[in-house]
Amino acid sequence: MTVDPTLLDDLEWRGLIAHSTDREALRDALTQGSVRFYVGFDPTAPSLHMGNLVQILTARRLQQAGHTPFALVGGATGMIGDPRDSGERTLNSLDTVKEWVGRVRGQIEPYLDFEGANGATMVNNYDWTASLSTIDFLRDVGKHFPVNRMLARDVVKSRLEAGISYTEFSYILLQSMDFLELYRQYGVTLQFGGSDQWGNLTGGAELIRRAEAGKAHAFATPLITKSDGTKYGKTEGGALWLDPEMMSPYAFHQFWLNVEDAKVGELLRVFTFFSRAEIEELEAVTAAEPFRRAGQKALADAVTTLVHGEAETEHAKAAAAALFGTGDLAGLNAATLAAALREAGTIQAAPGTSYVDLLVETGLVKSKGDARRTIAEGGAYLNNERITDVDLVPDASHLVAGSWLVLRRGKRNFAGVEIG
RNA sequence: GGCAGAUUGCCCGAGCGGCCAAUGGGAACGGACUGUAAAUCCGUCGGUGUAUGCCUUCGAAGGUUCGAAUCCUUCAUCUGCCA
């Protein structure tokens, strides 16, 4: 298997390597032959999100460069929970974790190639953890972990005041053991993950060194944040889910389209497979003519296509064009408008339902009080016209494209209502 | 096992018997400006069609009181000290 010797340079250029073990040793390993590597995903929710996508796409980059992926779903680690600053997690039931394992697995598979010389392998750490005895675990794994070093980790330090259970404190042993297990079973010598995983990554590499006198590598991808340093995905619906049931392809596409100028280049490098030349061109165009948002459009189209496919991307684009285009909804043909609204989200309602109730029913606002407040603030629209009358009851004269009402809250939150 | 302290709205954090739906900050949301950006400024930020109203909220359940987030009891969780 020949490998692409420029891989590491490309990863570095894309900003995908926030930390790594000995960089030169890593470079040597990645240029000498196909490296078996792994990246893990814990089933902590019914769907993966934007943060996980960074790992998935990075795995794909490595595979395309000739390396061999092992994608791990954390059936075991998901039962325990990685410690986080916000406090102790609530344990999920075995049934819940099992269900999420299945979903997460299905979300990873489309991005990797399971055929060929460097075909990917799916593993579940539940397989080698479930039957492990406590005594064996403590003797074989625990012995290699100095508690003083574990206490010095940032996450643990931050939790010492508020409290941390032994369960979460031990998480690093499980993840480290995974690396050791994959090293023994498959010869896996590289693990990567998000930068918040750095301690777990090096923990595994060190365990391999201590237990097997083996040489293993690790690197961490950066945390993707907004330019003010806060996390992405905290707007409106919460996280940026990959599951189309949890976040529509339209909403997903809209998210990328609305990314701030200052972040377009970084996101293009991390989330797309455009070449360096293509990305630099897009950055130049965005800098010169920011109002055209060429970078955002390319980003939104590329990522949505990766995650949801070409057809969904076209639907999302068409919907956006219809809703944001000229603003003249009456000028659209019925099929176009109906299709656009279905992307944005629609409900059915009976004739004579008040505008306030419609806002609530579409979910654009969370209560009638919120709806009235929004109208008072001038943030409520019907068919792209601002509504000022709190008591408005839409009638037949408001219908567009036959039986539709187009509700909007704020600048860009649309919902369709089909009257009938 | 004993003693002490903590638990407030999305988050942080005041309040310590009535003036508390509960100060303040952040987040979020709406408006203005723009490009369906960023920054900035202004406004909103428990529910209820409009009532000096009513309902739900200050870890949970009871209780004291004309009246409790504020006092008492029990329970849960967390923290510290002592065994």
**Could you say which of A295, A324, A353 is where a domain stops?**
A324
Residue A325's pLDDT is: 77
Does A128 share its domain with A210?
Answer: yes
Residue A389's CATH number: 3.10.290.10
Residue A94's pLDDT is: 84
Does A180 share its domain with A278?
Answer: no
Q: Which nucleotide is closest to A324, CA to C1'? A: B36
Q: Is the CB of A233 under 7 A from strand B?
A: no
How crowded is residue A136: how many other Cβ atoms within 10 Å of its Cβ? 11
User: Is residue A235 assigned to a domain?
Assistant: no
* Residue A287, both tokens: 């800098």
Q: Is the CB of A254 under 7 A from strand B?
A: yes
Question: Å from A360 (CA) to B69 (C1')?
Answer: 31
Q: Is the CB of A367 under 7 A from strand B?
A: yes
The domain in which residue A119 lies consists of: 7-221
Residue A236's pLDDT is: 46
Rounded CA separation A260/A296 (Å): 8
Opening angle at CA A9, ends A4 and A12, nearest 5: 135
Q: Is the CB of A304 under 7 A from strand B?
A: no
Does A335 share its domain with A298?
Answer: no
User: Is residue A2 assigned to a domain?
Assistant: no
Number of domains in chain A: 3
| Predicted confidence (pLDDT) at residue A128 exceeds the cutoff of 90 | yes
Q: Which nucleotide is closest to A230, CA to C1'? A: B27
Q: Is the CB of A234 under 7 A from strand B?
A: yes
How crowded is residue A288: how many other Cβ atoms within 10 Å of its Cβ? 9
Mean pLDDT calculated for residue range A297-315 = 96
Does A37 share its domain with A112?
Answer: yes
Residue A304's CATH number: 1.10.240.10
Residue A158's pLDDT is: 72
Question: Å from A35 (CA) to B30 (C1')?
Answer: 53
Residue A93's pLDDT is: 79
ipTM of the complex: 0.86
Does A70 share its domain with A89?
Answer: yes
Does A53 share its domain with A120?
Answer: yes
Residue appearing with tokens 């989200």: A345
User: Is residue A415 assigned to a domain?
Assistant: yes
Does A160 share its domain with A19?
Answer: yes
Does A273 share its domain with A201?
Answer: no
Does A31 share its domain with A168?
Answer: yes
E-strand spans in A213-266? 217-221
Does A336 share its domain with A382?
Answer: yes
Q: Which residues are CB-contacts of A375 (< 8 A; sequence separation ≥ 6)?
A: A355, A356, A387, A388, A389, A390
Q: Regarding predicted confidence, which is higher, A190 or A156?
A: A190
User: Is residue A395 assigned to a domain?
Assistant: yes
Mean pLDDT calculated for residue range A300-305 = 96
Q: Is the CB of A261 under 7 A from strand B?
A: yes
User: Is residue A293 assigned to a domain?
Assistant: yes
Residue A228's pLDDT is: 66
Q: Which nucleotide is closest to A160, CA to C1'? A: B79
User: Is residue A237 assigned to a domain?
Assistant: no
User: Is residue A242 assigned to a domain?
Assistant: no
User: Does residue A234 have a known ligand-binding role?
Assistant: yes
Q: Is the CB of A324 under 7 A from strand B?
A: yes
User: Is residue A239 assigned to a domain?
Assistant: no
User: Does residue A126 have a known ligand-binding role?
Assistant: no
**Could you say which of A204, A221, A238 is where a domain stops?**
A221
The pLDDT tens digits for A87-126 are 667 677 788 889 999 999 999 999 999 999 999 999 999 9
| Nearest protein residue to nucleotide B11, judged by CA and C1' positions | A86
Residue A56's CATH number: 3.40.50.620
Opening angle at CA A398, ends A397 and A400, nearest 5: 105
Does A404 share its domain with A305?
Answer: no
How crowded is residue A159: how many other Cβ atoms within 10 Å of its Cβ? 20
Alpha carbon distance, N-terminus to C-terminus of chain A: 62
The pLDDT tens digits for A190-237 are 999 998 899 999 999 999 999 999 999 999 999 887 766 666 654 445
Does A79 share its domain with A206?
Answer: yes
The bridge status of strand A385-386 relative to strand A380-382 is antiparallel
Q: Which nucleotide is closest to A227, CA to C1'? A: B38
Q: Regarding predicted confidence, which is higher, A383 or A156?
A: A383
Q: Regarding predicted confidence, which is higher, A226 or A80?
A: A80
Q: Which of residues 71-90 of A touch strand B (CB under 7 A)?
A: 88
Please state, for a pLDDT cut of 90, what percent of chain A lies above it.
69
DSSP codes joined into one string, A288-343: H-GGG-HHHHHHHHHHHHHHH-HHHHHHHHHHHHHHHSSS-GGGS-HHHHHHHHHH
**Could you say which of A291, A324, A357 is where a domain stops?**
A324
Tell me what the pLDDT averaged over chain A comes to: 90
Q: Which nucleotide is closest to A381, CA to C1'? A: B30
The pLDDT tens digits for A354-377 are 999 999 999 999 899 999 999 999
Q: Which of residues 123-182 of A touch strand B (CB under 7 A)?
A: 160-165
